[in-house]
Structure formats: structure tokens, C-alpha cells
Structure 1
Amino acid sequence: MPPKKKKGGKKKGKKKKDDAELELEDKYRKTMDEIEALKDHLAIRKEIARRSQSMGDEWKAQVKQAEKQVQELKDDHQSVSADMTRQYKTMQTDLSIQIHDLKTKLERTQRELEKTQQDLADTRAERDKIIKEKDSEILDLQVKIQSQEEAYEKILNNTLDSLSEKIKNARLVWVDKESMIAQKNKATLLEFGLNPLDL
């Protein structure tokens, strides 16, 4: 008998066809994703271009405004230049008068300064005298404070020593009382037939 053909041959052909369809679908999906990405990119580019155009229009308007301002400044400069020439001549005259007035004021101020410097020297001497007196008072007070501190320290030490002695005596009393209570407790336990060492 001739050998039987395997039935798997048809399945392999169908499997290859399914793989091809899957691969085609993957490519289609990838292409669609790329198209969507390109659309998004294009939308962003359009928005950037729109903003750039808007900013360009704004800059053009600003340039026109600046040109207008420059022309106005040129016109103002001419009128200001003529006005400044007139003001300069007036200012020269005013400055001559001011210089004379300032010289007079300077002489008067120098005299006042000399008087003020003398007053300052007197004030400093008086201040130094007061400072010396105050320093002397402070030194006396410091000596008194020191002696008071020593006295208070002595009182405090005596009080603490006395308090320590009282605490020591009280402790001795409590130790005696404790010993008596312990003896009573032992006696009581022994009366009941209990040995305190067994507890």
C-alpha cells in the first residue's frame, strides 16, 4: 500500500495565510498610528505657524509704533535743543549768582563750624568727666555687690549644712523605726509559727 499523506499539509497552508493576515494587520495598525502621529505633528506645526504669524503681526505693529515714536523724538529733539540753548544761557547767569551766594554761605558756615567744634570739645570733656564719675560709682557698687554675694553665699551654705544635718538625723530616726518594725514583724511571724527566713 502506498503511504498515507499527512493531513497537516492543509493546516500549515492556512497557518501561513493567518500569519500573513496578522502581519498585514500589524502593518496597517502601525501605518495608522504613524498617520495619527503625523496628523498631531502637523496640527502642532500649524499652531506654531499661526502663533508665529500672530507674533510677526504684533512685531510689525510695534516696529511701526517705534518708527512713529522715533520721528516724534526727532521733532522733540530739535525743539528741546533750541530750548536748552536758551536755558543754558539763563543757567550761566543763575550760576554766577549762586556761586556768589554760596561763597557767602560758606564763610558763615565755616564760622559756625568753628564754634560747633569748640562746643563739641567742651561737651566731650564734660562727657569724659561724667564717665569717670560713673565708672567710680560702678566700681563701688561692684564691690558692694561682691560683698553681698559672699554674705548670701555664706548664709546659703550654713542653711544647706543645717538642712543636711536635719535630713541625716531624720534618716537615723527612720532607720531605727524601720528596725523596730522589722523586729515586731519577726516576732509576729514567729508567734504564728512561721520562720521569716522561709518567706
Structure 2
Amino acid sequence: MMKSLLYKEFRLVAHPMLYITLAFGAMFLIPAYPFYVIFFYGCLGLFFCFINGRENKDTFFTATLPIKKRDVVKARCLFAAAAQTAQILLSIPFIFVRQAVGMGANDAGIEANPAFFGFVFIMFAIFNAVFFISFFKTAFKAGKAFLMAIVPLCIFVAAAETAIHVPGLDTWLDTSAPEMMVRQIPVLIFGMLVYAGGMLLTYRCAAGRFEAVDL
């Protein structure tokens, strides 16, 4: 059943904008560009998917199927996780291209390195938690949920960018030197664990709220 629900998400809910954002990894080739913006577009792509599903009454019709309402939320969470993970993986080749052509350091923020991607996973976790839990409170107000999610996301990004200017952290987090990137791997692993645990908690909270919604 879950396989069928996921198939439905990708065929009926996924907005074209989501697939466009998967190619935004190419923006790593823009000189002096704030890299977090690349993955903000991924969040925006998900927002368009929720709008698309709402306008097509997908949530309502799916909930009328002989399935648990929690499965509706689970399918949407898995769909989001697949899209966000795909965006990260598809962006990595462009980082190697950036290094191969010798573009140098990023003057607009953190370097594209393991620590950065650890922070991206945490950024996604924060967005998902606020957005999903807020949206499934009504299963309708996607715009309000998105605005609520953007606030903590921006605060986190600002804090992460500030951290790379702290003496000691700058030489650890804001570098693409091979010997330092090895030391950044724990940050990446921590970010992935936060993302996985956050998505599980997000699903449970959002599912609990959705079960109380009278459609």
C-alpha cells in the first residue's frame, strides 16, 4: 500500500518546480553565492507540491481511501525525504566540477564541504518539523505553514553562517582542505542523524494532528 501511495505522490502531487530544483545544484558554479539558498529552493519546491495537492484535493481524496490517515502523512514525509535527499546527492557532482575548474573560495558564505551538508540536513529537519506539523493541523493552510517554517530556517542559517566566523570554528568548518574535511565528517553524520530522527518525530506529531482533522 505504501508503495502505491508513494507512486501517487510522485505522479499526482509532485509539482514541476520540485524537479526543477533538483537541478539547482548547478548553482554551486556561481561565484560568490550563498549556498544555503540552493537548498532553500528545495523547500520552496515542496511547498509547491503541497499547494498542488491541496488544489487538486489530493489530501481529501486520499484520506477517503480504505487506509489509515497516518499513512497519508507517512507517504508525504517519505516523499519529502526522497526529494530532499535527491537534491543533496545530485548537487555533489557540481562541487567536484567547481573544484576542478579552480573557482576558489566562496566569498559569500561557507564552503561546500561535509560540514555544510551536515548543516543542510539540519536545515531541512527544522523546515520539515515546522511545516509538516503546521500544515497537517488543518491539511489546508500551506501558505501559513510555509511562512512559519521559514522563520526558524532563516534563524538557523544565520547562526550557521555566523559560526564560521568564530575563531577556531572558521578553520574547521569553512574550508575545503582535504585534511580538514575528514574532521568535518562527524558534523555531517550528526546532521544526518538529526534529519532522520527529526523526520520520525515530525511524522508522529503531524500524523497525530491529521487524525484529529475533520475532513
Report which of the two has the higher share of helix. 1
Determine which structure has greater relative contact order: mean sequence separation of CA pairs < 8 Å that are 6+ residues apart, divided by chain length: 2
TM-score (norm 1): 0.18
TM-score (norm 2): 0.17
Larger radius of gyration: 1
